[in-house]
Amino acid sequence: MAEEYDLPRSKEYTALHEAGHAVVAGILGYTVSSIEIYPGKKAGAGNWDGHTEFSGERYHPWLAAISLSGLAVHMRRAGQPMHFLQATYCAGYGGGGSEKDMQDARRHCRNAGTGYGLRWAWDFAKELTADADTQIDGAARKILAGKVTYPYPASEGQ
């Protein structure tokens, strides 16, 4: 049954996933200091992983939405239904970064202490990534070409 929920782990999908984190972080006022994609450790050719590092406020519910934004982009592009329950299955069965993203989102919701939960963060991530689709595509192309400049996004006047 796990195959039904598997998400593609190609270099291109991984770049889109990390671009989702980076663009949403930028929209919410965080500064991205690095984006990496690299061959994954799990068996299988063409299996990629990634990581996006950003700085900003440590305890805020927006961090949960940033954590889930890569998964939201990944699921939409893979043609998966965008239900909250489906996202939890994809994160669990997809393994790798998606599973860690869901764990991070849970921790951010808990640490923020605001009462915002995972379902809120998932809905917010879906909304932000849908609205920023063109920006995410552009960021993914830069990631694949190795042409992302930091800090990302660049401040006005840079």
Q: Given a cut of 50, is residue 3 above it in pLDDT?
A: no
Start-to-end CA span in the chain (Å)? 49
Instruction: Give the residue among 153, 158, 156 at the shortest CA–CA distance from 25.
Output: 153
The pLDDT assigned to 85 comes to 73
State the average pLDDT over residues 44-70. 85
Q: Residues 49, 41: contact at Cβ < 8 Å?
A: yes
- Which residues touch 132 (CB under 8 Å, ≥6 apart)? 23, 24, 27
Instruction: Give the residue among 38, 58, 54 at the shortest CA–CA distance from 152.
Output: 54
More confident of the two residues 124 and 91: 124
State the average pLDDT over residues 68-82. 86
The predicted model scores a pTM of 0.86
More confident of the two residues 21 and 82: 21
Q: Given a cut of 70, is residue 94 above it in pLDDT?
A: no
Cis preceding-peptide flag for 8 (omega within 30 of 0) = no
